[in-house]
Amino acid sequence: MQGRVILPVPRFTSHREPTMSPHSSSLGSHRTAGARDFIDTLMQGIEAGWLEPQLTRFDLPRLARAVAQCTTHPFGSIDNRSFRAFPEETSPGLLMRVAMGLARHESHPDEQALTFFTLMSNGEFLPAAQVLRHVGTSSAPTLEGIMTLATPGACNYTSKWCSGDTLDWSSLAADTWPPSFAGCCIGLNVWHADLETFLTGIVSDPTVTTMLWLPDLFMKRLAEDGNWTLLPPHQCPELNGLYGAAFEARYLAHEQRVAQEPGLPHECVRARTLWQRLLQLLSHNSGPGLMFRDTCNLASLQRHAGMIHGPSADGALLLNSDADTVATAVRGIINLERHLDGSHVDHKRLQHTARLAVRMLDNAIELLAPDARSGHTLCHYRSQGIAPGGVTAALDGIDAAPSDRYSSLETLISHFAHAIMRASHQLACERGPCPAFHGSLWQQGALPQDAARMIRHERGDQWCDLPAAEETLATEALRHDISRDGIRNLALMANGLAPDLTQLPIPLEGEELSLEETARLQSEFDQAWAIMPPLIERSAEALDYYIYKAWRLGLRSLTLK
């Protein structure tokens, strides 16, 4: 039996704005009027309090001419009204407002604004919704896709500032869980005493996305047909902050303790029985999603900064969080379809786009924090989540035999990941590395490709089928340069974007990727790999094999959609 996954994806398109024929004698006057309209609309937005007054410091006539000459926009079928600062803002005007906001503190703001605008209007790169909505405006920013520990304070915080966030409830007993948290992703560890309450009461709620954390020890007990102990969180508060060998040692100590002290609350169940319960839910409820806790943390290059407690609600990001940290990132998407030279990847153009994309999102970091807590986190880690888009269309344009299609995909993603990491390294040489770089595995010379080795070292060969990553001269040079000079952004790549700009990662439209192929592609990224398989169409036996195989291959998550 082989595990397969089908990954469909919408195409990243560029749409043409209605305009006059280029042969029209009135084209010049039309563009002049368009330039005046942009300036008039901009000034109205500033006077009404919708836009930042600092935008008037730009050479508005020069930028307005670029807006008037723009005949395309990258939004495709997406309704961009939710991104507009005010109803009269056009698609080109929106992009120029964002470009101006991102270029405001550059040494040559007008030139950079034009460069940023051209990149976005051509559909080569597009920031995510949080950037499009707030940069250049006077509105209070919000966080998107955050991950945090669930405490009463955290619940209040996320309900005030955030959307699409993930909360880890593992430190809370069921009687202290919030009564309603629609739109969130709620995570729980499989050792939690209130697991059944979570499975029956929360997983069945259609307004909530759920995620179950599976440690390596549980997967080993499952393979060995052993028992599993459920523990109340107040009795073992440290477990939610541990992973790998440290978690296993403390969990075994708690099991020994409850066995020796009969009065301590706990529940001992057969791991296989609990697993069958989960498979039943997966087959019928399409949830909860599964995250391999130790894999996620062992593969992280920022372990020194704390622990990963959950993914973003869309499964695209894995970032560290603790009681004082709001794990979030600024995000965007590079359209790989626009980076072909004939039937080959245009490496120089991809590197150019990556440099600008990383720079734009780095400029956005100080602009998007709603309060001091999130501002400190964003500035300390400077995390980004840049996703690859237009992959299927790019593969269609590459001259390769059908049998070589996966090889072309692997090469394409390798170039994408390398360009993003190199861009962040170059920005670190200009602006300095982010504060969190010091002490990270990045500083020690590690790259995302080293995840398989790090997981195998901790887990043991008998529990691993991880594919080995190939070391190239370019990878070796990048490893050395980052270790020496630093990296500007501690996290860089993501699997997708928020629902209003969705691009699932690394798809082959209408085709299948095996788990082994997916695992090899995952090795290029510094974030999790979200798989979207049709699990509800599989038998319990097929699910059992599929999930266990995914764990052995080092996949981070199995998320149902």
Question: pLDDT at position 262, please?
Answer: 87
Beta bridge partners of 149: 168
Residue 149 has a pLDDT of 52
Those residues with Cβ within 8 angstroms of residue 359's Cβ, 6 or more apart along the chain or in another chain: 423, 427
Range of the domain at 371: 4-21+30-139+328-522
Q: Which of 5-14, 292-301, 400-409 has the lowest mean pLDDT?
A: 5-14
Single pTM value for the model: 0.87
Residue type, 251: Y
CA 213/CA 308 separation, integer angstroms: 11
Residue 319 lies in a domain: no
Q: Is 222 found in the same domain as 78?
A: no
- In a 10 Å sphere around its CB, with 0-12 CB exposed, 13-18 middle and 19+ buried, how is residue 454 labelled? buried
Same structural domain, 385 and 494: yes
Cα 404 to its chain centre, rounded Å, is: 28
* Closest of 357, 326, 346 to residue 118, by C-alpha: 357
Question: Who has greater pLDDT, 484 or 471?
Answer: 484
When divided into structural domains, the chain yields a total of 2
**What is the per-residue pLDDT for 499?**
35
Q: Give the long-range contacts of residues 99-103, CB within 8 A, separation 24 or more.
A: 100/55, 100/58, 100/63, 100/136, 101/52, 101/55, 101/135, 101/136, 101/137, 101/367, 102/131, 102/135, 102/360, 102/363, 102/364, 102/367, 103/363
pLDDT digits (tens, 9 = 90+) for 494-541: 865 433 333 333 343 444 567 777 777 777 776 644 444 445 556 677
Q: Quote the CA–CA distance of 267 and 538 in Å, as a whole number.
A: 30
Mean pLDDT of the chain: 81
Q: What is the pLDDT of residue 8?
A: 29
Residue 321 is assigned to a structural domain of this protein: no
**CB atoms inside a 10 Å sphere around CB 29:** 11
Distances (CA, A) of 174 to 287, 401, 552: 19, 55, 32
Say yes or no: 373 and 507 in one domain.
yes
Assess if residue 422 is contained within a domain.
yes
On whether residue 322 sits in a domain, the answer given is no
Residues 6+ apart with CB under 8 A from 295: 216, 455, 551, 554, 555, 556
Give the residue among 42, 98, 37, 35 at the shortest CA–CA distance from 68: 35
Domain membership flag for residue 11: yes
pLDDT > 90 fraction of the chain, expressed in percent and rounded: 44
Q: How far is residue 332's CA from residue 385's CA, in Å, rounded to a whole number?
A: 6
pLDDT-wise least confident of 37-51, 258-272, 379-393: 379-393
468/349 same-domain check: yes
CB neighbours of residue 171 within 10 Å: 20
pLDDT confidence of residue 397: 85
Count, residues in the chain = 561
Phi, psi of 530 (to 5 degrees): -95, 120
Instruction: Write down the pLDDT at residue 152.
Output: 42
Report the distance separating Cα 467 and Cα 463, nearest Å.
13
CATH of the domain at 196: 3.20.70.20
214-266 pLDDT, tens per residue? Answer: 999 999 999 999 999 999 999 999 999 999 999 999 999 999 999 999 889 99
Residues 66 and 175 in one domain: no
- Verify that 298 and 338 share a domain, yes or no: no
Whether residues 265 and 341 share a domain: the answer is no
Within a domain: 424: yes
> Taking 90 as the threshold, does the pLDDT of residue 155 lie above it?
no
Is residue 318 in a domain?
Answer: no
Q: Residue 461: left if φ>0, alpha if ψ -120 to 50, beta else—which one?
A: alpha
The pair of three-digit structure tokens given for residue 353, joined into one six-digit string: 């786009």
pLDDT band at 59 (very low <50, low <70, confident <90, very high): very high
Residue 432 lies in a domain: yes
SS3 105: coil
Q: Are residues 358 and 503 in the same domain?
A: yes
Beta bridge partner(s), residue 340? 345
**Among residues 503, 479, 410, which one has the least CA distance to residue 13?**
503
Q: Dihedral through CA 270, CA 272, CA 273, CA 278, nearest 10?
A: 130
- Same domain flag for 391 and 470: yes
Q: Are residues 229 and 282 in the same domain?
A: yes
The C-alpha atoms of residue 167 and residue 148 are separated, in whole angstroms, by: 5
For the chain, give the percent of residues with pLDDT over 70. Answer: 79
For residue range 158-167, list pLDDT tens digits in order.
433 344 467 8
Same domain, 157 and 261: yes
Same domain, 335 and 477: yes
More confident residue, 109 or 399: 109
Quickly tell me which residue has 């001269």 as its tokens. Answer: 473
- 313 pLDDT above the threshold of 70: no
Q: Locate 252 and state its tokens.
A: 């075994």
Residue with structure tokens 């869980």?
A: 177
Measured on CA atoms in the order 521, 527, 528, 530, is the torsion positive or negative?
negative
CA distance 181 to 155: 9
| Confidence check: pLDDT of 457 > 70 | yes
